[in-house]
């Protein structure tokens, strides 16, 4: 079912793994600015960004594995999408409580709607795999792309926040 998609998912896995490493570098650079407010912000913004990159890596690796049928992959991706969506709802509620920066409507859209859409697309792709529909690889690739984009945006905002608040400690 994923014939011809191998390069896309290899690039997705590589991007997810590389961005996880770069996120650790950014946090190491900003480690001196740990304040109680910074720790709350870490839980609200850093951890979800790390989870987005980890999800991309996880999904791409599972798609690339040689499965005997589409069912095991569909179950894993469907459960991953469902768990991600539930976790993301919790993250949205947590982020709304944290008052570390003024976030505009675009920020909240990219922090809230884009990952939710990505996880929903993953669930739809898993259902499509079970049903043998041709849209399934596109839905899963769309989910990977959305989650990767949301993670990059979150990492960028986090890096800017660290740079701006580095001297305030």
How many structural domains are present in the chain?
A: 1
Please write the tens of the pLDDT for every residue from 35-62. Answer: 666 666 666 778 889 999 999 999 999 9
Residue 74 is assigned to a structural domain of this protein? yes
Does 10 score more than 90 pLDDT?
yes
Interval 64-69 mean pLDDT? 93
pLDDT at 165 over 90: no
Residue 31: pLDDT above 70? no
- Using one digit for the tens of pLDDT, what is the confidence trace for 80-133? 999 999 999 988 887 777 665 566 778 778 888 999 999 999 999 999 999 999
Judge whether 13 lies within some domain. Answer: yes
- Decide if pLDDT at 142 tops 90: yes
Alpha helices, DSSP H only, in the chain? 6-29, 36-41, 47-64, 70-97, 105-108, 114-131, 136-165
Look at residue 146 and tell me whether its pLDDT is greater than 90. Answer: yes
> So what's the pLDDT on residue 7?
96
What is the pLDDT at residue 101? 59
- CB-CB contact of 48 with 91 (8 Å): yes
Residue 51 inside a domain? The answer is yes
Please report whether residue 11 resides in a domain: yes
Position 130 scores a pLDDT of: 96
Q: Is residue 1 part of a domain?
A: no
Is 64 within a domain?
yes
Q: Considering Cα of 132, then 128, then 54, then 86, what sign does the dihedral take? A: negative
Does the pTM exceed 0.85? yes
Domain that holds residue 139: 6-168
> How far, in Å, CA of 122 to CA of 133, rounded?
14
């Amino acid at each position: 079912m994923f014939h011809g998609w191998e390069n896309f998912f290899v690039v997705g896995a590589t991007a997810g793994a590389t961005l996880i490493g770069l996120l650790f570098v950014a946090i190491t650079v900003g480690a001196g600015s740990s304040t109680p407010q910074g720790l709350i912000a870490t839980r609200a913004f850093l951890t979800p960004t790390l989870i987005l990159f980890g999800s991309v890596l996880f999904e791409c690796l599972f798609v690339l594995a040689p499965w005997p049928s589409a069912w095991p992959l569909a179950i894993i991706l469907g459960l991953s999408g469902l768990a991600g969506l539930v976790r993301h709802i919790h993250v949205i509620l947590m982020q709304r409580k944290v008052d570390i920066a003024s976030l505009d409507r675009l920020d909240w859209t990219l922090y809230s709607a884009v990952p939710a859409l990505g996880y929903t697309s993953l669930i739809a792709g898993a259902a499509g795999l079970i049903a043998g529909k041709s849209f399934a690889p596109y839905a899963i690739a769309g989910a990977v792309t959305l989650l990767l984009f949301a993670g990059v945006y979150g990492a960028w905002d986090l890096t800017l926040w660290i740079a701006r608040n580095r001297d305030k400690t």
